[in-house]
Every structure is written in C-alpha cells, then in structure tokens.
Structure 1
Amino acid sequence: MNATTAPAAMPPRRVLGAYLAEARSECLRYLRAPSFILPMTLFSTVFYLMFGVLLNHPGSDASRYLLASYTAFGVMGPGLFGFGASLAIERDGGLLTLKRALPMPPGAYLLGKMMMAMVAASLVVVLLLALGLTVGGVSLGPARVLAMLAVGAFGVLPFCALGMFVGTLIKGQGAPGLLNLVYLPMAFLSGLWLPISMLPGALQTLAPVWPSYHLNQLTLSAVGLRAGSLLPHVLALLAFAAAFLLLAARRLRRYG
C-alpha cells in the first residue's frame, strides 16, 4: 500500500513532560548565568538599599513606599531583558529556528521563558522583602508578604509580552539598548522613583498609560499603602499583556 499514514499525536503526558523539561532548562540556564541573574537581582535591591534604607528612617512610610515601588521596578527587568533581549539574541543565532524544528510543542519555548522570568522576578521580590523586613524596618504580616510574592510572580507577565514584542523588532546586539530606553523612562514616568504627585501635571495625567503604573498600584496595595479596588489595574495589565502578546506572535509568524 502506498497510502501515507499520519503520525500519531503525542500523548498528553509526553506533551506535559516536554513543557516541563523546556521550562526547567530555561530556568537553570539563566539562573546559572551570573551575567544575567546578578544584574536582574541586584539592580533594584541596591537602589532600595540606598534610597529606601540609608536615606530614610527605617520603618517609615517612605521606606515602605520605596519597597513597593522598587519591587515593581525590579519585577519589570526579568520580563523585559530575560525575555526580550534573549529572544532577540537567539533569533539572530538561529536557536529559535532550531527549536521550531525539534519535536516539541510549539509553545514550549515561550512558556519556558515565561517561567524563567517568573522565577527571577520572585527571587527579586524575596531579596527586597528580606532587606525591607530587616534593615528597612518595614513590618508586614504573612498575608502581605504572600501578596507581594504573588504580585511579583504574575506581574512580570505583561513585561514578558512587551519584551517579546521588542525582541521581534530588533537585532540581538541592539536589544539591550532599546529595552533600556523603554525600561528606565517608563519606571520614572510611572512614579517608581518619585511619587507621581511630584511629577509635572501633564506627566501625572499620562501615568496610567504605562503598565508599570498599574503594577505599582498592586505593590502599594500589598504593603498597605493603597486602598480601593484593584480590579481596574489587574484588567489593565491583562489587556496590555494580551495586546503585546498578539503583536509579538504576529511578527514571529511573519519574520521568525
């Protein structure tokens, strides 16, 4: 018989195993790379140590405010750089093409990078909480600590989508520079370095445009410095993540 038999579908257990193996390899690969993990974890912690601890009274509202804002600042980094810069570099090197040729689920590569970013963001939050609860004199109950960890782990996802989109726009060598042009101004304009009330009026009006503003509202609520509904901020982050994920997926389909 000359009839061609269609290949059998991969069993669900093997599909799940492929996703888990890719996520594990991505996490180990970047956690074992000092050039990635050290800047990601130390950048925001050093800033908080200088401005939230040394230049403020331990246990003050300012120290708590800066713990929340530098947590948001630190969480952005693994999504933008761990996802965006690495994706751009791996596209240039042909690794993404190789991954597509392997017998693995098509989404495993991207899911693995998302898991890596979530692990790195959680590590940033743990380090900042350790500083805040010890030398910073910040007092947080177990529920607020868990809320901070949850915001950090899931709050990185919109920035993964943004990083993924930027990674499809530019060559690998130029990605870190472009991402810094996104990362640092967005943090400033969202009130992560200075309270929004200290910014010019026009910039205060534009602050809700940035996803980092909405993430900061969640971290401020987690440390007890903000009251009110969090649903608008959660929905804004979900909409931002979905929009940039769709844009990035479209470019990957077209240009690889």
Structure 2
Amino acid sequence: MNALATSSPRGAAGRLLAPYVAELKAELRRAWRTPAFVLPCLLFPVLFYLVFGVMLGNRQAASYLLATYCVFGAMGPALFGFGVQLAMDRATGLLTLKRALPVPPLAPLLARMLMAVMFAMGVAALLMIAAMAVGGVPLVAMQMVGLLGVAALVALPLGAVGMLIGCHVGAEASPAVVNLVYLPLALLSGLWIPLSVLPVVFSSIAPLWPTWHAAQLALPIMGHAASGNGGAHVLVLLAVTVVFALLAARRLRRIG
C-alpha cells in the first residue's frame, strides 16, 4: 500500500514540487523578516495614492490613478526583490551555495518571481481598499480581479529587469541602480500623473516602457481611455519578460 502511494502520480508530483514550495516559503520568510523591504513596498504606493489620488484630486482622479498605481505598486517588489536581493545573494555566496544543493537550478528564481507576484497583488489589494474606503471609488468584483491580474502580470517583466540588474551590479550599487530605473520609469510611463499634462515628448516615447503597456491594460478596467490593443500590450510584457530573463540567465551561467 505504501509502495503504491509512493509511486502514485500525486506522490511523484509532490516530490517534484517540494523544492519549489520550500524555496517559496524561505523567500517569504526572509521577506517578512526584512521590514525595510516589506513596509516600503506595501505602504509607499498607498501613501502616494492617498496624497495625489485622493487628497489632491477628485473621484475621477482617484479612479484613474487607482489603475496606474496598481502598476506602480507592482514595480517595487519586483525590481527591489530581484535587483537588490539577487546582487546581495551573489555577493555573500548564497547563490553559489544554492547551486551546490540538490535543488532544481530555477527553483530559487521562480520562488522569488512568485513572491514578487504575491506582493504585487497585495499592494493592489491595499490600493483598492484605500480607493473604496477613502477615495469613494466604486469597484465591482470583475474590476478587482482585473486589477489584481494586471498587477500580477507587471511583476513578470519588472522581475526580469530586476534580475538582469542584480546579476550585473554589485550589492552596494544595486539600490541606486534600481532607483534609477524604478522612479524614472514610473514618471515616463504616466503612472504618477497622466502623460497628457506632460510635454508631448513623454507621450511619444512612452511605448518604449513596459510599464506604459501595463497601464494601458489597467486603465480600461476602470473605464478610462487607453491606447492600442490589449493583446498587443500583453505580448509586449511577455516579450520583455522572456528577453530580459534569458539575458539574466546567460549572465548568471557565466559569472554565478
């Protein structure tokens, strides 16, 4: 009976997934034990939204910025979780140690990516609570699901970008380099304020940024006009994910 249970498909699947689950638990435990990472990632977008979307705006602004801030909120966990933490793991030798352990090579990176997705969805949930409770923004279930889906999708390309930063930059320089990507990317994509109120050049180069494409997916969910086709925006985000992840994987194979 035990032999049958062990050789069953369910048992085999459990053994296959066990290292990935263990890595995810370790990543979540490490994140929650680092308040300097958790609190800014969760609270920074919400505080910005309350100031610029609620206190200084009206209900229309609160609705518009809820969509774009769900994208902005997903950027932090992905970029800093990969860009800074991966650089630190390389500097301390932890990444090399994990390679020597009997775990699948991709397990640590996939666990960190899933953690970024979970954090992104958590920030989006906090933003929606703030929008409904303080901003007076009505939300239906499909809108909530849509915003959570966009937030999860944003974490993929931004996580890949962060991965590329983390495998090229040292631990001491990584926070500065990530901020050089994080903050300008949010501004240039129209996440803080609409591109229509900025100089025309900002709108002309906006399609270059993956976060702009993510914003074009989030805005229609809240009933606001967006540019382009939704399917094309999704393809751009997936393409950025694949290209940057492959570049990062190539770099990691070479230098560890």
Structure-1-length-normalised TM-score: 0.92
Counterpart of 2:82 in structure 1 is 83
**Residue 176 of structure 1 pairs with residue 169 of structure 2:** no
Give deviations 1:2-42, integer Å, cap 9, x for gaps: xxxxxxxxx55322111111112112220232111000011
Counterpart residue type for residue 247 of structure 2: L
**What is the CA RMSD across the aligned residues, in angstroms?**
1.3
1:126-205 correspondence to structure 2 within 5 Å = 126-205=125-204
Residue 214 of structure 1 corresponds to 213
Output one character per residue of 1:44-90: Cα deviation in whole Å (capped at 9) or x when no partner. 10000101111122xx2111111111111111111100111100011
SS of residue matched to 2:172: helix
User: Comparing 189-198 with 155-164, which one deviates more in the overlay?
Assistant: 189-198
Unmatched runs of 5 consecutive residues or more in structure 1 = 1-10
- Aligned in 2, Cα 1:12/1:145: closer, same or farther, shift over 3 Å? closer
Shift of 1:235: 0.6
Specify the alignment match of 1:250 in structure 2: 250
Please say if residues 27 and 115 of structure 1, whose CA atoms lie closer than 8 Å, have aligned partners that are also in contact.
Answer: no
Letter of the structure 2 residue corresponding to residue 209 of structure 1 = L
* 1:35-114 → structure 2 map (5 Å cutoff): 35-57=36-58, 60-114=59-113
Aligned to 1:15: 16
Aligned to 2:232: 232
Contact between 2:190 and 2:212, CA under 8 Å: does it hold in 1? yes
Does the 8 Å contact 2:154/2:211 carry over to 1?
no
Q: In 1, Cα distance between the equivalents of 2:223 and 2:140?
A: 10
Deviation at 1:169, TM superposition (A): 1.0
State how far apart, in whole Å, the 2-side matches of 1:205 and 1:229 are. 17
DSSP-derived class of the 1:105 partner: coil
**8 A Cα contact 1:148 1:222, kept in partner:** yes
Q: Is residue 161–residue 241 contact of structure 1 (8 Å, CA) maintained in 2?
A: yes
Q: Distance in 2 between matches of 1:114 and 1:235?
A: 19
Equivalent residue for 2:4?
none
How many residues in Structure 1 have an aligned counterpart in Structure 2?
244
Give 1:118's aligned amino acid.
V
Q: CA deviation at 1:198?
A: 1.8
Preserved CA contact (<8 Å) 1:158 1:237? yes
Q: Where in structure 2 are there 5+ consecutive unaligned residues?
A: 1-11
Return the TM-score normalized by structure 2: 0.92
**Paired amino acid for 1:222:** I
What code does the residue aligned with 2:233 have?
Answer: H
Contact 2:54 2:61 in 1 (8 A): no
Q: Deviations over 1:103-157 (max 9, x none)?
A: 1011101011011111111110111000001101001111111111111122211
